[in-house]
Amino acid sequence: MNRQNSLSYMPGLDGLRALAVVAVIVYHANKTWLTGGFLGVEVFFVISGYLITLLLITESEQNDRISFRQFWLRRARRLLPALWTLLLGVCTYASLFMRDELGKLRGDVIAAFVYGFNWFKIWSKSSYFDSAQVDPLRHLWSLAVEEQFYLVWPLLIAVVLRIFGKRLVTLGGIFFVVALGVAWYVAATYAPGFPEPTPLGSPAHFVAIFGQPALKIDFLFLGTLGRSGGLFLGAALAFWYRPSMFSAQYPSSDRHAVTGIGAIGLAALGAMMWQFHDVYSTTVDLADGTTEVVRRGYDPLFQGGFLLVGLASIAVITAAVHPHSLIGTKLLGNPVFTYLGRRSYGLYLYHWPVFRFARGADPNPMSVVEFVIYALIILAITEASYRFIEMPIRTGEFSQWWFAMRHPRNDAARKQRQSAIAIAVVVSVLPLFGLVSVAVGTGEGEVAESLKANEQSVQNLVSSTTIAATPGDSTATTTLDGQIIPILAIGDSVMLGAANVLTERGITVDALKSRPFRQALEIANYVKSINRLGDFVIIHLGTNNYVDEKTLDEIMVPLADVDRVVMLTTHVPKKPWQDPNNELIKAMPNRYGNVTVLDWYTIAEQHPEYLYSDKIHLNPEGQAVYADLIMQAIGK
């Protein structure tokens, strides 16, 4: 029997898919609306684990075997057409409107094509939590996890069914224990704190992938092993609980209990999506007795949170697939939810590129009006893909049409084939141009290219302020020539973007991406200790995290004898630390007579043309203005 006909349609599962994909889309539009909306992906994992395992068990029972070839062909027909359409669309758009991103996009497209996107992101250290990039394919990590699951799962199920036979309860128990083991592994491997160059950014936050250091938080969040717990939980439920256990015609008394279980599961999912975060800012105690506000992973998420989401998901699934539960038939099975659920794959695929292409690297959360407009665009694209690409291939209509085109039966059919060829040639021009552009493009992204071009003008004055290529490497790096440094500039990636121009003006620049404010103290203490401090010090930090008054006071201790210390305010729209940092910086001249404030925030607000699309980093025009203003601030 064909596996496609081996199970009845379960509208409740489509309804649950709808809730999951809507949660993800809302989260990506504006995290403040639903901070844990990303957990919808975990719900998808549990659904996949349940449904795929259930289908394989049913096929094995009905046919006494599992056809691996047919399983993989069905998965390919289901997944590849929309994915390839997305990749062609992204390549085409980028080749027309984002040519500076083509070089960076090439690796993403290849990784997505072979369903290895999650491991590519981990290995390349392109953090999932870096929102300052357009990264139009970043969401495909989850599809890579699922496809890797689809590759091995029929083999695994066939083996365990051969070994254990019909002892499905035992198998469910084994898979459940494996899910618990995955949760334990994630909790034991996870290292609290976010791996930035802060006191928390120790080697404990890294893991080696083929000799390449990778962020542990990305390894656990994106990696197949760390995210397999939901798949195993869903599979465990499939061994224990099937819709065929209940009569489709005669409601059983247990439907009320199942509805209650599903309601509890929905409430738990809602609470966790409302409460959970991926990363957030918090205050940590440092070794010297001071405190600092840093970004870090949300500990409960990795210390059992994914397991709780999985358990809540299987509670909802029990009600969603029950033929008579109110959750499955009335709530999740309503026409709107099932409509969205059947298109959930396309909604997930297309929503993120639309968001990123429409808004670029804009870090600002969407407004309600923006969200409604983009949601309608996404729905239209998804519907077109569903009707004209996905369903014709899944139902065989495309194969029939293709056969008719290859074997025309009369002159009318031959003319129709000629017209189809002509249309195909015209339609394929732009996608082919996009693919060629991505294949030969060299752009790495305007911000990334700007920072890379300025790196040669930077001096790393203190070894502890340098992020080593390998975690734990503390090799000292210094280019000091033993002379006084007349003008010293200490900054993060914003200043790094202007390092070439600043150096041309005679400024010694020590700037580093993702640098926290406190590292200014390390640099100032070091340069003071070797008697190299000159007349002027410029400090532009605060892009990446909070600073407190105590840290600013400590920085001023070694700078007490410097004639003029220029502190720049920060411009990081919608980051919670922007305004409090700027208030503290603006108050510095009231307490220190040698401090001057250059209000870069106001300048950037008034002149967005000085900034790249991320609204933070300096474009060439902004770099020149930035350097001019600094020189004016020190009276040069």
* φ and ψ of 50, to 5 deg: -70, -55
* φ and ψ of 393, to 5 deg: -75, -40
> Would you state the structure tokens that stand for residue 602, as one six-digit string?
């106001």
Task: Please provide the CATH number assigned to the domain covering 446-633.
Answer: 3.40.50.1110
User: Are the CB atoms for 566 and 599 separated by under 8 Å?
Assistant: no
Q: How many CA atoms does the CB half-sphere of 313 hold within 13 Å?
A: 35
Question: How many other CB atoms are there within 10 angstroms of residue 99's CB atom?
Answer: 14
**207 vs 194: CA distance, rounded Å:** 14
Closest CA relative to residue 262, chosen from 241, 235, 232:
241
What pLDDT, on a 0 to 100 scale, did the predictor assign at position 470?
A: 33
Q: Is 7 exposed, middle or buried (0-12, 13-18, 19+ CB in 10 A)?
A: middle
User: What is the number of residues in the chain?
Assistant: 636
- The beta-strand segments (E) located in 405-449 are none
**234 vs 354: CA distance, rounded Å:** 31
What pLDDT, on a 0 to 100 scale, did the predictor assign at position 133?
A: 67
125: left (phi over 0), alpha (psi -120 to 50) or beta: left
**106 vs 601: CA distance, rounded Å:** 35
**567 vs 630: CA distance, rounded Å:** 10
Which position has the token pair 């290292």? 191
Amino acid, single-letter form, for residue 589 = P
List of residues 6+ apart from 161 with CB closer than 8 A: 57, 60, 171
The list of the chain residues with pLDDT below 50 reads 1-5, 196-201, 464-480
For the full predicted model, state whether its pTM sits above 0.85. no
> Would you state the structure tokens that stand for residue 154, as one six-digit string?
């029929």
> Would you state the structure tokens that stand for residue 348, as one six-digit string?
């997930």
Question: How many other CB atoms are there within 10 angstroms of residue 583's CB atom?
Answer: 11
Query: DSSP state, 487?
Result: E
CA angle 37, 295, 508 (to 5 degrees): 135
Question: How many other CB atoms are there within 10 angstroms of residue 451's CB atom?
Answer: 21
Closest CA relative to residue 467, chosen from 103, 125, 191, 181:
125
509: left (phi over 0), alpha (psi -120 to 50) or beta: beta
* Strand 533-540 to 485-491 pairing: parallel
> Would you state the structure tokens that stand for residue 194, as one six-digit string?
């976010």
User: Are the CB atoms for 90 and 353 separated by under 8 Å?
Assistant: yes
What pLDDT, on a 0 to 100 scale, did the predictor assign at position 354?
A: 96
Q: Is 216 exposed, middle or buried (0-12, 13-18, 19+ CB in 10 A)?
A: buried
Closest CA relative to residue 90, chosen from 105, 73, 75, 74:
105
- Domain positions in the chain are 44-249+332-440, 446-633
Q: Is 522 exposed, middle or buried (0-12, 13-18, 19+ CB in 10 A)?
A: middle
Burial call 116-152: b when 16+ CB within 10 Å, e when fewer? bbbbbbbbbebbbeeebbbbbbbbbbbbbbbbbbbee
Burial call 306-343: b when 16+ CB within 10 Å, e when fewer? bbbbbbbbbbbbbbbbbbbbbbbbebbbeeebbebbbb
Which position has the token pair 């870096």? 130
**28 vs 33: CA distance, rounded Å:** 10
Q: How far is CA 269 from CA 41, 44, 176, 390, 630, in A?
A: 12, 13, 20, 30, 51
What pLDDT, on a 0 to 100 scale, did the predictor assign at position 293?
A: 54
User: Are the CB atoms for 15 and 321 separated by under 8 Å?
Assistant: no
> Would you state the structure tokens that stand for residue 588, as one six-digit string?
């510095």
Which position has the token pair 């070839």? 69
- Residue 629's H or E segment, with its range, is helix 620-633
**557 vs 520: CA distance, rounded Å:** 12
Query: DSSP state, 366?
Result: P
**47 vs 25: CA distance, rounded Å:** 18
**306 vs 225: CA distance, rounded Å:** 13
Continuous H helices in 98-140: 102-113, 117-123
CA angle 143, 98, 496 (to 5 degrees): 95
What pLDDT, on a 0 to 100 scale, did the predictor assign at position 473?
A: 36
**101 vs 332: CA distance, rounded Å:** 41
Question: How many other CB atoms are there within 10 angstroms of residue 394's CB atom?
Answer: 15
> Would you state the structure tokens that stand for residue 296, as one six-digit string?
């870090």
**230 vs 446: CA distance, rounded Å:** 38
Q: Express each pLDDT in 238-278 by its tens digit.
A: 999 998 888 777 777 788 899 999 999 999 999 999 999 88
User: Are the CB atoms for 502 and 457 separated by under 8 Å?
Assistant: yes
